[in-house]
Structure 1
Amino acid sequence: MEQKIKKVVLAYSGGLDTSIIIPWLKENYDNCEVIAVAADVGQGSELSGLEEKAKKTGASKLYIADLKKSFVEDYIWPTLQAGAVYENKYLLGTSFARPLIGKRLVEIAKAEGADAICHGCTGKGNDQVRFELAIKAFAPDMKIIAPWRVWDIKSRDEEIDYAEAHNIPLKITRETNYSKDKNLWHLSHEGMDLEDPANEPQYNKEGFLELGVSPEQAPDEPAYVTIHFEKGIPVALDGQKLCGVDMVAKLNEIGGANGIGIADIVENRLVGMKSRGVYETPGGAILYHAHNKLEEICLDKSTYHYKQQVAIKFAELVYDGLWFTPLREALTAFVDSTQQTVTGDVKLKLYKGNIIDAGVTSPYSLYDEDIATFSEDEVYNQADSAGFINLFGLPVKVQAMKKQKWAEKE
């Protein structure tokens, strides 16, 4: 804090952390100018009233950057095409939003001639890494201020104390003090009772789930959706063409109403600790399921299996904030090449939290009913399998024969 800072660009959400950071920056950096930047990645009503709030607490201006289209097309779709899921459950909703936001922060900081960029991420979390790696990728010499690593505040309760002392309005109370992150793709919940993995999440408590309902509260009748993909990208829902933003929003609505996409995870954070959270990703869960179903019939065995390995690494890169790296770009190039024939329609049945396959078709399907049939056919000679098994099983047979000889010598 000894650095001379005249102008700071702050990643601003209006939540607890960033609400108190504006006055804190002005107190600790000689009344520096604070420019707040709110990235619109689909959090909806959370953006209402932000400009007034930011200025009242000391910001000179607020940018609201509409990043929804880029978020879907440049970050969500490539990750979906890769089939990247972190530790089998997490659909990376926060992870791939941060590089996009970080890049925009740099653009605004350069345009404003700012001396530093500030974020409200804690020193325990992953987001500090994601933001700062994005900043380094586009402004390697930019100063970064991370209050949680230097201030005397030690908890969210103390943050609320600070806010109350400075007359800063908050949307939360000490009783509803979950740490949440919301965007077009998902909503995360962390903290409070969720910090103990032995506690069942309060799915049926009013106000806990925001993107949908629990499976128990879902309708007794199933809902059907048909998604059309072109080269691995969803472009139409039930016959209606939709842009990416509308596609995700509509599937969130349908999936949420049917209790889809709720995940309770104890994940391994990049910084070394385990962390427990609940994620709501109704539309994302549907799209991942549908995309994988289409790949089942469109990709050959070797590509399908190898791509599953790539998906694990891709997810790690996204989770760890390494979006703007040569390896991520190279893996995306590989994924793009696999998606050239991933075109077709997937029909799904949604019922009380379950996604059930209800049919898949593609003009590039590798499935051949004439070959796979149990009925009589003229395209597959079953006698050929004997020679195949003899050659394929030769290593097993040789090893067994050698073991017999070795046993006889003993």
Structure 2
Amino acid sequence: MKEKVVLAYSGGLDTSIIIPWLKENYDLDIVAACINVGQEDDMEQVEKKAIKSGAVKVYVENVVEEFVKDYVFPSIKANAVYEDKYLMGTSIARPLIAKKLVEIAKKEGAKYIAHGCTGKGNDQVRFETTMAALAPEIKVIAPWRIWDIESREDAIDYANAKGIEIPVTKEKIYSRDMNLMHISHEGGAIEDPKNEQPQDLYLMTRTLEEAKDEPTYVEIYFEKGIPTKLDGKELSPASLLAELNKIGGENGIGVTDILENRLVGMKSRGIYETPGATILMSAHKDLEHLCLDKMTYQYKQMISLKYAELVYNGTWFCSLKEAMDAFIDKTQETVTGWVKLKLYKGNIVFAGMDSPYALYEHSISSFGASDFYNQKDATGFINLFNLPFKIEAMMKSKDEK
């Protein structure tokens, strides 16, 4: 009886050619595993294609709700943004996909897991770090680090030679990754940062020129940092994000063009469409301004930077992130309330919010009189606050004489 390898299979260019390549180079039964995190693929066709290519068995796992609930929403709670721009739609999905691959490998008794990540990318690290954390005994086969194929053009030639249907051509050679949170675009003309984005690139979002000519208002309700209602209607995590994707896409929201620093040491240009999550992130940050005290908010800002780095690097299942999650959950105990936003041609404009835990007190913060704040008290406070500056100025004055 042959040993088994579980292949992370999407039906895209890379994984389409991996099945015949594995058959040529390994004496293994190939179990294809397509983990559905919201990519808009015909899963029945993907399954048929895997079998036709040589897989002995195919798993199609729908984990969309788990993806949004346990991966997207925690990242929103953390305000996790990589290098000021990237909401990490790909990074967040990888640990869940790898987790499911491990579960399937254990179920099948497979000793190997194979993936189609290139040797230049971050995803190879994300997949294999998750696998190491969850099943260190499983061995990894990474064809892009082994075979003689050196480019996407080479991969297309190999597919054509083997008679394998592929979803790309040399004219439209973009490498794309899609899930319910976002779609990424890399490769082709956009590799050169001198080039503007092609107008026909977007798949989830309208261009600013094509976006609606009138604004759209949305109201999002959060419960302990988790979005639960959209415009007063309670929705499941995936349904809420999908609806915001539609609304955000119509209004040109959430397109990011970033020259990011990859974990493997090089810079890479990525164009990301993340309409719904961009709206959620904006609303959540607004609500935190209302519900968190100054010290907690500012400390959480530092945590958010490190949290994003951990997620981007693929260390979702590490002790430090687990500890950070506990801290973040504590900060979110009062982040409950609604936020209204105005969406218009790529812009998100704050349009009101309220919370039962609001730390804003109008009677104190307004210019009017207040029983809780005596403006005369500011004199003593300012004298103490600026005392170090007075001392330094006197010292300098002595040195100058």
- Quickly name the TM-score band, shorter chain normalised: over 0.9
Q: Any unmatched runs of 5+ in structure 1?
A: none
Partners of 1:119 and 1:45 lie apart in 2 by: 19
Q: Report the residue type matching 1:364 in the other structure.
A: Y
Q: Secondary structure at the match of 1:95?
A: helix
Partners of 2:65 and 2:111 lie apart in 1 by: 29
Further displaced range: 373-382 or 339-348: 373-382
Indicate the residue corresponding to 1:381 in structure 2: 374
Which of 347, 356, 360 aligns to 2:349? It is 356
Partners of 1:337 and 1:82 lie apart in 2 by: 11
Query: Are 1:49 and 2:49 counterparts?
Result: no
Aligned-pair CA distance for 1:133: 0.5
Q: Is the 8 A contact 2:363 2:369 kept in 1?
A: no
Which of 202, 212, 217 aligns to 1:219? It is 212
Q: Is the 8 A contact 1:5 1:115 kept in 2?
A: no
Q: Is the 8 A contact 2:215 2:343 kept in 1?
A: yes
- Two-structure CA RMSD over aligned residues (Å): 1.1
Indicate the residue corresponding to 1:16 in structure 2: 13
Query: Are 1:325 and 2:322 counterparts?
Result: no
Q: Deviations over 1:289-321 (max 9, x none)?
A: 000000011000000111001000000000000
Aligned identity (percent) is 59
Q: Deviations over 1:268-304 (max 9, x none)?
A: 0000000001000000100000000000110000001
Indicate the residue corresponding to 2:22 in structure 1: 25
Q: Is the 8 A contact 2:225 2:332 kept in 1?
A: yes
Query: Are 1:191 and 2:187 counterparts?
Result: yes
Q: Is the 8 A contact 1:5 1:116 kept in 2?
A: no
Partners of 1:320 and 1:130 lie apart in 2 by: 6
Q: Deviations over 1:344-403 (max 9, x none)?
A: 000000000000000011110000110111133333111101111111112122111111
Indicate the residue corresponding to 1:130 in structure 2: 126
Partners of 1:387 and 1:406 lie apart in 2 by: 29
Which of 144, 149, 158 aligns to 1:148? It is 144
Q: Is the 8 A contact 2:95 2:130 kept in 1?
A: yes
Partners of 2:293 and 2:370 lie apart in 1 by: 23
Q: Deviations over 1:194-221 (max 9, x none)?
A: 100010001x32xx21112011111110
Partners of 2:43 and 2:287 lie apart in 1 by: 37
Indicate the residue corresponding to 1:172 in structure 2: 168
Q: Is the 8 A contact 1:9 1:109 kept in 2?
A: yes
Q: Is the 8 A contact 1:215 1:259 kept in 2?
A: yes
Partners of 1:400 and 1:334 lie apart in 2 by: 42
Q: Deviations over 1:216-238 (max 9, x none)?
A: 11111000000000000000000
Q: Is the 8 A contact 2:39 2:179 kept in 1?
A: yes
Structure 1 segment 326-341 matched on structure 2, within 5 A: 326-341=319-334
Q: Secondary structure at the match of 1:153?
A: coil
Alpha carbons of 1:16 and 1:62: their partners in 2 closer, same or farther (altered >3 Å)?
same
Structure 1 segment 57-96 matched on structure 2, within 5 A: 57-96=53-92
Partners of 2:381 and 2:64 lie apart in 1 by: 53
Q: What TM-score, normalized to structure 2?
A: 0.98
Q: Secondary structure at the match of 2:328?
A: helix
Q: What TM-score, normalized to structure 1?
A: 0.96
Further displaced range: 59-68 or 329-338: 59-68
Q: Report the residue type matching 2:284 in the other structure.
A: H
Aligned-pair CA distance for 1:48: 4.4
Indicate the residue corresponding to 2:259 in structure 1: 266
Q: Is the 8 A contact 1:13 1:47 kept in 2?
A: no
Q: Report the residue type matching 1:284 in the other structure.
A: A
Partners of 1:220 and 1:355 lie apart in 2 by: 14
Question: Between Structure 1 and Structure 2, how many residues are aligned?
Answer: 401
Q: Secondary structure at the match of 2:330?
A: helix
Q: Any unmatched runs of 5+ in structure 2?
A: none
Further displaced range: 144-153 or 43-52: 43-52
Partners of 1:48 and 1:346 lie apart in 2 by: 40
Indicate the residue corresponding to 2:293 in structure 1: 300
Partners of 1:115 and 1:381 lie apart in 2 by: 72
Partners of 1:378 and 1:99 lie apart in 2 by: 53
Q: Secondary structure at the match of 1:235?
A: strand
Indicate the residue corresponding to 2:284 in structure 1: 291
Aligned-pair CA distance for 1:170: 1.1
